[in-house]
Structure 1
Amino acid sequence: MSKNTGVIILAGGRSRRMGIDKALLKFEKDGLTLLEMIVEAARPVASAGIVLVTNQPEKYEFLKPSLQVVVDNQPGGGPLAGLEAGIEALVAQQYLLLACDMPFVQTELLKALVEWEEEGKSRDALVPLNPEGLPEPLCAIYNARVLAVVKEYLGENRFKMSDFLASIVTRYVLSSELEQYDPALRSFLNLNTPADFERYKAVFSK
């Protein structure tokens, strides 16, 4: 992996359905938080470093100084605002954008995304499709040059990731292409509710 890659982890959601900050949940009493699980999975591909983007940095003081923590320039701007803040915080050629509620993300899958993006030098984004055929823009690679388009969207109060992806050169990766790196496609399991958390405890323990 020759290209300089920065990792941006988003922890800006309000976790309304979960009721508490899901990034700080633990499957085991003395285990890692969900956020720490994601950091550990992403660390091998983060040649340019890892940055956490959040509007509540005080909650994540325990991660310093090993992890850089920054806030959105435009709170309420959703993932695009997080992508902007992350790109501005880390100098890299490309960025892996991850949500904080996907604790089963697999390092081998992330390595494959990074390597595929190195091969497609004209692409702006490389976005996996989950088994339902839906894009996963918060487990995807973005070239540094998208920053100008991100700023344009934010300046116009346009926050939809689908519109953003349609306006740049995006390659979508079929889930069947990813199964050799993550056979069960656990990487795309996310936790939104207490029921999700309890159900995935069984997944984590296997």
Structure 2
Amino acid sequence: MIPPTRDHITGLVLAGGLGRRMGGVDKGLSRLGDEPLVAHILRRLAPQVGPLIINANQNHDIYAGFGRPVIGDRIEGYAGPLAGLEAGLAACTTPYLVTAPCDSPFLPADLVSRLAESLTAHKASIAVARTGDQLHPVFCLIRTDELPDLQAFVNAGGRRMEAWLKRLRWVPCPFDDCPDAFANINTPDELRAHQAGDTAR
């Protein structure tokens, strides 16, 4: 099998959280350097995918200003990344969806191609980034026909990505050569620590 090309993959930026550890502010709109975090993600992810959409549950008008469709969770109660993934899969018009969180502005330039190669080589339905022993479930490439299983899982009360993975044929994709690319920014202190030039990575 040949790995899917970018035209067959929709990108989904997950920006639907409440930003509790960021002091309750909308994390994707927090500024790193001269731009909001979400702008860094969009710039890095856009060349790797075809369509690109944003999952957000507040400030829709601001997110729409980045020129991409904005979708909210369809599951009530800020149910976490799986709710954003469910909304993204439901809106997706391509055979594959790749996700990235709004708080990891240094994501690899070859994230999608490497995930696609792993998924295809192992005939899996989802490939998940891994560095060392650390999985990064919010960096994943998934076949969109897994939407019904995800819906069944969340409708039964499931909320943890790792628990849902166990239901699927999934494969970890190693990124041990670039562990810093998955650094995320969860707190004001972390945001301040990454100011002053880190966006050049």
Q: Which residue of 2 aligns with 1:21?
A: 26
**Aligned residues: percent identity?**
24
Pair 1:192-2:186 in alignment: yes
Pair 1:116-2:118 in alignment: yes
Q: Which residue of 2 aligns with 1:135?
A: 135
Q: TM-score, normalised by structure 2?
A: 0.88
Q: Which residue of 2 aligns with 1:10?
A: 14
Distance apart, 1:90 and its partner CA? 1.9
Distance apart, 1:205 and its partner CA? 5.3
1:65-76 to 2 correspondence within 5 Å? 66-75=67-76, 76=78
Per-residue CA shift, 1:36-87, capped at 9, x if unaligned?
A: 110111111212x011111112342322xx2010111103222111111111
Compute the RMSD of aligned alpha carbons: 1.8
Tell me, yes or no, if the aligned pair for 1:106 and 1:186 is still in contact at 8 Å: no
Taking the aligned partners of 1:134 and 1:81, their CA distance within structure 2 comes to 22
Pair 1:37-2:40 in alignment: yes
Unmatched 5+ stretches in structure 2: none
| Structure 2 letter corresponding to 1:9 | V
Pair 1:162-2:156 in alignment: no
Q: TM-score, normalised by structure 1?
A: 0.86
| Structure 2 letter corresponding to 1:46 | V
More strand by share: 2
Taking the aligned partners of 2:89 and 2:75, their CA distance within structure 1 comes to 14
Q: Which residue of 2 aligns with 1:204?
A: 199
Per-residue CA shift, 1:80-101, capped at 9, x if unaligned?
A: 1111111121211111111111
Tell me, yes or no, if the aligned pair for 1:45 and 1:114 is still in contact at 8 Å: no
